[in-house]
A and B are shown apart, each in its own frame.
Chain A
Amino acid sequence: MAHADTTHAPPAHEASAHPPAHEEETNTGISHRKLLMWVFLGSDCLFFGSLIATYMVYRGQSIVGPYPIDIIDVPITTISTFVLLMSSFTMVMAVAAARNGNQKRLIQWLVCTIVLGGGFIGFQVYEFNLFRVEGLRYETNLFSSTFFTLTGFHGAHVTLGIFWLICLAVISARNPAGRPSGEDVDIAGLYWHFVDIVWIVIFTLLYLIGGFDAGPDVGHAAAQGWQWITGIIT
């Protein structure tokens, strides 16, 4: 890659589906692209953190129903959560296959992950639609606005991940000569696991804990969250 200089590889490639055969030299030994993914995930934590905080602050503050207790179906979502967790497992296998350079296995595991991820999205579409039919629309109440926004953005993350994995699978089907590299799949794997972990948090807070919330509590929403924080400080 480098012509005249060997001291320091020039900043060659970006998040690209076709990296050259070897990664650039870096101070940390972590490739630029992988570090980028880590930094992005750090940033995304704050993104989901803010959405989750909004949901938690508004828990039990809706003035009209349907409330979570009327509508949230924990058993079904437990199944879809399981499906998503399984996709993390198959993703681990895909990463291992890519590291070993086993293209055939890689494609198989990628396809498994894509199918499981797609299954999760299928559940979500089914759930959203059911809620709509049962009278919970985006503009219905605080619960609906916060719920659909948070889970919707999570679903969008999963969908993006599915597209990414499809691209990787297509590339490796077309061009088995060492592409995508182990690093490519690794980075996609980081993203995929992160999105899964976020779902675990969402599932716990919105379904297992918040799924039984009923009508409005007393008190002022943000003030309550606030008292909770100051309660911890003092």
Chain B
Amino acid sequence: MVTITGVIPRPNTYTGLWSWLTTVDHKRIGALYGFSAFFFFMVGGIEAGIMRLQLATSDASLVSADWFNAMFTMHGTTMIFMAIMPFGATFFNFLVPLMIGARDVAFPRLNAFSYWTFLFGALLMHAGFLIGQVPDAGWFSYANLTAAPFSEGKGLDFWALSLQVLGVASLAAGFNFVVTIINMRAPGMSLMRMPVFVWMTLVTSILLVLAFPIITVALIELTADRQFGANFFNTAAGGDPILWQHLFWLFGHPEVYILILPAMGVVSEIIPTYSRKPLFGYPVVVFSGIVIAIMSWAVWSHHMFTVGLGAIANSVFTITTMLIAVPTGVKIFNWIGTMWQGSIDLKTPMLMAIGFVALFIVGGLSGVSHAVSPSDFQQQDTYYIVAHIHYVLFGGAIFGIFAGIYYWYPKITGKMYHETLGQVHFWLMFIGMNLTFFPMHYAGLNGMPRRIYTYAEGFGWEFMNLLATIGYFVIVISLLVFIHNFFRSLKKGEEAGHDPWDAPTLEWSISSPPPVYNFAEIPVVKGQDAYWITKREAEARGETVPAEPHVDPSTIHMPSPSYWPLITSFGVVWIAGGLLIDFGWDYIRFPISFIGGLITIIGVIGWSNEPAAEEHHEAEAHH
């Protein structure tokens, strides 16, 4: 065993490609997550564009029905699992250790493993495009559309196996952040002094850890059906497709909160900063986050009102679903209460955060309207639902994510973004978003079903669809403005300084960008909004607080880079990928997949034989 570790010398560089491939620094991993997430956000966006072009007019023939199916499947899957979730991970990674005053996460190499596994899983899913095997049964891939006879080819195998790999990545990240937050807070940072973003990360991570095993099992069953002839969803053998729906939504509803809670956390940091007031009702915000997480387990069948579970089930889930809107609504009042009588500074992050609140209210209201199961019978599987999910996911999650990107841009890069361009981005995206998705409410209530690749004229759907397609292009322009702003400001942006917003949380007390070791001296936390306390106390003494001075990094013992996470992830994705290989002789996939297992085992052994930190390498410094 020991020999395995000895073969290749441990990486010890901090520059160049290898340093990125072997990094265990949470800030670098955060950056990797961010770029990957944005990349897949654009991929999903292009798929959305193809759908919008196809639907802009009636009887269009830009793409075939089959391709349209592939597009909406990959759009949903990509946006949820490969864009919004990794955007969340971007913030968790970059911010959580800084906000709790730690030098890294609890398991830095596991963190690298999460990222690489996510990336490889996402690439594996998209590899299906190269051989024309694209999943096409929707992001929730209902049984028995997914049964081998109804879905030939390997598209759904790519879907199921890649999603499994992505699940491994999410689980590993979830474990890591639960442990980090519970165990690694700086002295004085009790749970109720944690920034709300950290709280929401904790809640999200717990949801991840508990929800993903369920989809794991569902995917195992699906894979067993398709690859090994099992009968889980095989109606001919007595199997029940509704089981898939129960498993999927039992995972799926917590999942939508996994998508929105990080954005809620981001917004809860931003609104106080630009209102120059502490968050109104901090314990209530925290508590309602926890309540949402608990209740999210008791509402899944609102996705199944029309399945025929019976009046009792539908009534129960109507009530639970309406109840979960309460803690959600409470948070809205907290944000509004924070702004109330604050001295509001409408910088781009604040605009995005206010946009979040406004649009999320719309999405929440439409959500309550289909919580009512009789009215949902009208809405189920129409564009009304599409409108709902985009108000909560685009208006909610994506606006929250952009709010966070602008807010922490100066911290992450050390440069200030261009304010006017930022505001242009906001207004274009806000207008474009509403132009795209608001008409869908009408189209849906006028009966336009989801997932149709075209529609005949005469239903009165043309105008709404045309508006939506125009809106799409407004969003595209807004994103081009963002990309331009991002790269332009990297080069030409003003130096941001360590604390441009006079912000309350610890990450602003260190220089921008933060040094590898984060804190030369671990801070001692005296209360909520720790850095505000420090600054106000200093001001009372007539002093200002500079950024924490840099120290010689070799005096601080940090975890060393490692290539084992990369190798282990590679093995994991190989296991899944091997099952997709088809050279004529079908059984070749088992030995090939097995090789992936060997690589994984070698990776794990090498990993566990390698100490987390080498003793003598820190001397070759990074600054």
Q: Which residues of chain A have a CB within 8 Å of any CB of chain B? A: 1-5, 7-8, 10-18, 20, 26-28, 30, 32, 35-36, 39-40, 42-44, 46-47, 49-51, 54, 57-58, 61-64, 138-139, 141-142, 144-146, 149, 153, 216, 220-223, 226-227, 230, 233-234
A137 smallest CB distance to B (angstroms): 9
Count A/B pairs, Cβ under 8 Å.
195
**6 contacts across the A-B interface (CB closer than 8 A):** A7-B521, A14-B109, A14-B110, A30-B183, A35-B178, A58-B238
The A-contacting residues of B in range 65-101, CB under 8 angstroms, are 101
CB pair A39 B179 closer than 8 Å = yes
Given known pairs A4-B555, A8-B522, A32-B106, the reply for A63 and B238 (CB within 8 Å) is yes
A221 smallest CB distance to B (angstroms): 4
Given known pairs A7-B522, A16-B611, A149-B221, the reply for A141 and B182 (CB within 8 Å) is no
Q: Which of B185, B240, B316 has the most C-beta atoms of chain A within 10 angstroms of its own C-beta?
A: B240
The A-contacting residues of B in range 303-335, CB under 8 angstroms, are 309-310, 312-313, 316
CB pair A47 B217 closer than 8 Å = yes
CB pair A230 B228 closer than 8 Å = no
A10 CB contact (under 8 Å) in B104, B109, B220:
B104
Question: Is the C-beta of B232 less than 8 angstroms from some C-beta in chain A?
Answer: yes
Residue of B nearest to A7 (CB): B522
Question: Is the C-beta of B265 less than 8 angstroms from some C-beta in chain A?
Answer: no
| Interfacial chain A residues near B102, Cβ < 8 Å | 8, 11
In whole angstroms, how far apart are the Cα atoms of A34 and B45 in the complex? 42
B231 CB contact (under 8 Å) in A30, A51, A145:
A145
In whole angstroms, how far apart are the Cα atoms of A40 and B557 in the complex? 28
Q: Which residues of chain B have a CB within 8 Å of any CB of chain A? A: 101-110, 171, 174-176, 178-180, 182-187, 209-214, 216-218, 220-221, 224, 228-232, 237-240, 242-243, 246-247, 309-310, 312-313, 316, 521-522, 524, 551, 555-559, 607-613
In whole angstroms, how far apart are the Cα atoms of A75 and B57 in the complex? 69
A35 CB contact (under 8 Å) in B183, B558, B608:
B183
| Interfacial chain A residues near B186, Cβ < 8 Å | 7-8
| Interfacial chain B residues near A61, Cβ < 8 Å | 238-240
In whole angstroms, how far apart are the Cα atoms of A233 and B316 in the complex? 9
CB pair A17 B104 closer than 8 Å = no
Given known pairs A10-B556, A17-B608, A149-B220, the reply for A26 and B237 (CB within 8 Å) is no
Residue of A nearest to B171 (CB): A43
CB pair A11 B104 closer than 8 Å = yes
| Interfacial chain B residues near A57, Cβ < 8 Å | 240, 243
Residue of A nearest to B100 (CB): A27
Residue of A nearest to B209 (CB): A43
A166 smallest CB distance to B (angstroms): 11
In whole angstroms, how far apart are the Cα atoms of A172 and B223 in the complex? 40
| Interfacial chain B residues near A27, Cβ < 8 Å | 182-185
| Interfacial chain B residues near A1, Cβ < 8 Å | 557
CB pair B213 A43 closer than 8 Å = yes
CB pair B556 A3 closer than 8 Å = yes
| Interfacial chain A residues near B103, Cβ < 8 Å | 8, 10-11
| Interfacial chain B residues near A39, Cβ < 8 Å | 174-175, 178-179, 209
CB pair A220 B240 closer than 8 Å = yes
CB pair B611 A141 closer than 8 Å = no
A52 smallest CB distance to B (angstroms): 10
